[in-house]
Structure formats: structure tokens, C-alpha cells
Structure 1
């Protein structure tokens, strides 16, 4: 059986963005596969009683500094989005729809959205801005909107979120190697160790 990392994520999490920038390299270096599992972080928070660290002022201030530290360590761009927190329901339905129906463009799709949110600081709750971001990346905004409104796509995202909850997920990013859960982009060294053991 091949080694796999299951990456449960929501675009609205800056730490999920940081993990996203590192996981492909970790998987390549350990001969592992990366499986993307879109989920709705708002649903996770609501069910578990968890909340964004930014909701606690002292923790939020610390988190901003810590994100910058990790971005420097990973040598990636990160600019905290002034429109945070972002309602990602439509976005994560779009992600799920593209994964289901345009899998060959899936990574390209999430890349353009992650960068729009966490590098370019775009407001992806604004339909005009989303249209601009998608058109610039060569996607058809109407096709993406149609996928977001597809009942099968909505059900898949709900199922993914329910699966995450059943497996003990309480936030993003959450990664599984086998049945072992690793929470947070600051635990990627443990993910690597788990892959090297398997």
C-alpha cells in the first residue's frame, strides 16, 4: 500500500495555505501521495465548539507574528488578508466541484484561490473580485458558479466535513497519515516522520 497524506483544508485558513505550500515537496521527498480533502471549516468550528485563534486578541496578535515566521522559514509569500474571516461556503463548494468534475485543473484552481487570499489579499466574498481572479487564471466563472450550486457537489462537501468530524478533526489544516491525525502547519515535521516510518 502506498504512503498517503490526507490533507483536510479550507481556503479561509492561512495555516492551511502554509501547509499547502509545503506538503507536495514533503510527499515528493518521501515517495508519498497527497490526497486533498476539502471541508467546511465553519461547520467544523460549529460542531466542535472551536474558533479561530484570531477571536482571542492576544492569541491573534501572536498568530500573525508566527505566520510570518513560518512563511520566512518556508520561503513563501504570505500577506494576512484584511477581509478575514472569510465566508468560504461558496468557495469550498467550488473547490469540491472542480475536484469532482475538472480534476486535471484542481491544483491549479486551489493555487489561484489560495494566492488570491493569502498573497494578494483579495476579497473573495465579492463576486466581482472572484470573477476577476478566475478569469485571470483561465477559468470560466459561470462554470465554477454552476459547480458550486450543484446538489451533488454540495452533498460531497458536507460528506467530507462529516468525515473529518468523525475522524476527530477540529480545525485546519488537519493531516492524516494512516489513522494518525496531525493538526496545524507547524506539525509538518511529524507528518514527514510518520511518512518515513511507513
Structure 2
């Protein structure tokens, strides 16, 4: 019996391009029978380590292009999007803990990630606030109480913090990044390449 393929998924919980690629990535991984390991990151630390700067600090001319590009992708993929979300950027620690905590209790991490990303880019919720995070999970039919309880566990807090350090040590520099073995695919616009590799 062939070994299960494993994709490591590195992303920021408030990344617009992670939001745009998430459903398609999940479909590709499921179709290939691949396991996904979720690595939510505090991208402020990642950008600093890589010597780059976050999209929120782009100059106006680049912001204009980025928003237009995101709107085109959303239209192409049939996804709703607010390219000027009310709560972006915000601290990502709570969202990272929620995603890691969901995995520790056997919740559907993919669904939780979708809820968190959609909170920012569709629902104008603040993923740095517990009440808004609960609303985001509820909107997607997820039981918020056990997930939020898990997110406050000290082992989960430590694990979530370790994810960012491990990603920096690996050389991750942007969100989303998908890894299959030694092959890296940065950006949701590279998902076709990931799908092709998984299909081999």
C-alpha cells in the first residue's frame, strides 16, 4: 500500500491569498488523498526574519494593484471578498492558537482555517478578539466553545508559538506556502503545480 502523501501548509490566519486559495487547496489535497499538516504563522515575525515587509505597509500604488488582483481572483474562483477588510492587520496569536487547538481536539482544522480566513475577508470580524472568533466559528457551523477552550491550553499556546519559529528556521517567507517533500509552492497561484505533483 503506497504511503500517504503529506502537504505542509504554511499560512497567516489573515492572509488574503491564503483565503483565496484555501478551498481549492483543500479540494486538491482531498482529491489526491493527501494529508494536510496545518502551520498557522505570525507573519509579522516571518516578514521581519526574511527582511521583507507586510502587505499592509505597501505603498498606495502597490496596494491598489494588490486589491485589484485579489478581486480578480475572487471573481474567477466565485468567492466573496472585501479587499479592504475592517480588521486587517491585527495580531494573529489568538487565531494561530485556535487553529492549533482545533487539531488537538480532533476538530476539522481545514474548516476552522476557512472560518478564520473568511472572518477577515468576508465577515469583517476581528480574529484577535475572542467574541468575534466565536462568531466566525459559529457562522461556519463549528462548535466554538471546545475550540476556544483548547486554544487557551498552555501546551497549545507553546505549540502555536513554536510553529512560527520552525517556519522561520525552514526559510518560509510568505503566505500561503505549500510543501510536498522538498518541493515548495509559494502563492495560491501555484496550486496547479502542487496538484500536478500530487497526481504523479
Which residue of 1 is the match for residue 96 of structure 2? 92
Q: Tell me the matched-pair count.
A: 195
Q: Is the 8 A contact 1:6 1:34 kept in 2?
A: yes
Which residue of 2 is the match for residue 45 of structure 1? 47
Which residue of 2 is the match for residue 161 of structure 1? 164
Structure 1 CA distance, aligned partners of 2:4 and 2:102?
Answer: 25
Which residue of 1 is the match for residue 174 of structure 2? 171
Q: Is the 8 A contact 1:6 1:36 kept in 2?
A: yes
Structure 1 pair 54–195 and aligned structure 2 pair: CA distance change class (3 A) = same
Structure 1 CA distance, aligned partners of 2:148 and 2:34?
Answer: 33
Matching residue within 149, 152, 164 for 1:149: 152
CA deviation string 1:20-78 (max 9, x = no partner): 12112222344433332222222212222222233122221111111111112222222
Q: Is the 8 A contact 2:134 2:148 kept in 1?
A: no
Segments ≥4 residues shifted beyond 6 Å: none
User: 1:175, CA displacement in angstroms?
Assistant: 0.7
- TM-score relative to the length of structure 1: 0.86
User: 1:138, CA displacement in angstroms?
Assistant: 4.6
Q: Is the 8 A contact 2:13 2:41 kept in 1?
A: no
Secondary structure at the residue paired with 1:104? coil
- 2:115 corresponds to 1:112: yes
Structure 2 CA distance, aligned partners of 1:24 and 1:134?
Answer: 18
Q: Is the 8 A contact 1:40 1:157 kept in 2?
A: no
- 2:16 corresponds to 1:14: yes
Considering only aligned residues, what root-mean-square deviation do their CA atoms show, in Å? 2.1
- 2:34 corresponds to 1:32: yes
Q: Is the 8 A contact 2:94 2:127 kept in 1?
A: no
CA deviation string 1:125-180 (max 9, x = no partner): 34443343345545344x44443332211221122222212222011111101111
Secondary structure at the residue paired with 1:195? helix
Matching residue within 188, 194, 197 for 1:191: 194
- TM-score relative to the length of structure 2: 0.85
Q: Is the 8 A contact 1:23 1:34 kept in 2?
A: no
Secondary structure at the residue paired with 1:51? coil
